[in-house]
Amino acid sequence: MKKLYFIINLVAGRATIGYKIGEIIDEFNKSGYEVTVRITQSGDDASIQTLYACENGFDVVVCAGGDGTLSQCLSGFMKAEKKIPIGYIPAGSTNDFARTLGIPKTPMEAVHWITDGEPVQCDIGSFNDKYFTYIVAFGAFTNVTYETSQQVKNILGHASYLLNGMTQLSTVRSKRMRIEYDDNIIEDDFCFGMVTNSASVAGLLSINDFLLDDGLFEVTLIKKPTNIVQLQKIVHSLLNISEEIDREYIKFFRTNKIIFTSLSDEQISWTLDGEFGGDMPVNKIENCNKAVSFMIGDKPENIFLD
């Protein structure tokens, strides 16, 4: 019998995943898995438990939680010598990475996605000594994801991020950055920057023409608008990021490695998969090409090389 390690964040999203645990375990049992359950106890518990699962003879580790819980799992996974496939049951407020992979929204459909699926290799990112699935970002609104209360997220859903962010417009300040990638160096003032590997960001922004296993990230840098017309142009571009963007205010490019250095006296906070990522003055981001195998029931061909 195959062994499955099941990591559950009971407080993710609307905290409803707990009502489905018995039904989920039963379905895994029926599919030939012996299930070990672990309820997360602290912020880094998912990382510790994923490392344990990889190093103690389990065949697959399944994470039920939000994007932040999955990010924690990846941190433990990348420390392990033996790598095992990861299954994901999305239970958070936005579930951007699940949306990108096409994972069903309902828990039982996601379980079938895992039991009927095959492991598919995907890129993930390293951010200094941490790992992420789909985004690291600095500047305007990046603190919204981890400062918005869970109760507000549950009531308003994706709109909560936008509403909280709008309250910060009048206080947004540009950050002086040196950005190095490939053979390029940029020094300029930016109010926002993000490095992504996802079709969706906070359930709001949409990124076209990207691949989950090409070894490249999409990088978006935005200068601060000085009036409402400029703001409207930026928002219009962000709603459908592609090569056809407003290059006067937005820089967009792809790379596998990038270094951000703060040239400002102020600390610059980063968000990592919707959680606080730190405020180091120098931050190195690299693409870990095809580093993780996710259990995928129906491979979306438009976001993979093969």
Specify the pLDDT at position 191: 83
Q: What is the pLDDT of residue 161?
A: 43
- Helix, strand or coil for residue 84? coil
Cα–Cα distance, 276 to 271 (Å, whole number): 5
Distance CA(202)–CA(206), nearest Å, equals 9
What token pair was written down for 21?
A: 């645990």
Residue 49's pLDDT is 97
pLDDT at residue 152, rounded to an integer: 39
Domains of the chain and CATH, by start = 2-116 (3.40.50.10330), 132-288 (2.60.200.40)
pLDDT of residue 11: 82
Contacts of 207 (CB under 8 A, 6+ apart): 196, 198, 199, 200, 201, 218, 241, 242
pLDDT on residue 256: 97
Angle at 151 between CA 149 and CA 153, to 5 degrees: 70
pTM of the model: 0.83
Helices 67-79 & 45-55, crossing angle to 10 degrees?
Answer: 40
pLDDT tens for the chain, residues 1 to 306: 999 999 999 987 666 888 899 999 999 999 999 999 999 998 789 999 999 999 999 999 999 998 889 999 999 999 999 999 999 999 876 677 888 888 998 999 999 999 999 999 999 999 998 999 988 988 765 554 444 444 434 433 444 444 444 445 445 678 899 999 999 999 999 988 889 887 656 544 555 667 899 999 989 888 877 776 776 666 666 655 554 555 677 888 999 999 999 998 877 889 888 788 899 999 999 999 999 999 998 777 777 876
